[in-house]
Amino acid sequence: MPGFITIAINLNYSEDGYSRKLRQSKFFRIAGFISFLTIVFLLLIFDFGNIATFTLLAIFFLVSIVIEKVTLSK
């Protein structure tokens, strides 16, 4: 997402008092970027197929959901 869109969404969250939603959006933005870079790096090194790539994406997504539930639910 372009920067101005994420800034507008974050401002909307903070104006409405949704501090948890603001933390979640920041967390998933960073987690998505890191998992994307990791998967691209692994694809360049190991030359995975499509099914392995989607499996890696699902694993990273599930791990990020578990981390989010454990750390941000407080």
**32 residue type, one letter:** G
Sorting pLDDT into bands at 50, 70 and 90, what band is 16? low
User: What is the residue-averaged pLDDT of the chain?
Assistant: 79
**Per-residue pLDDT for 1 more than 60?**
no
For 44, counting Cβ atoms within 10 Å of its Cβ (0-12 exposed, 13-18 middle, 19+ buried), the class is exposed
Contacts of 26 (CB under 8 A, 6+ apart): 10
Q: What residue numbers bound the domain in which 30 lies?
A: 3-71
Task: Count structural domains, the chain.
Answer: 1
Q: How far apart are CA 23 and CA 40, in angstroms?
A: 26
**Per-residue pLDDT for 47 more than 80?**
yes
pLDDT of amino acid 59: 92
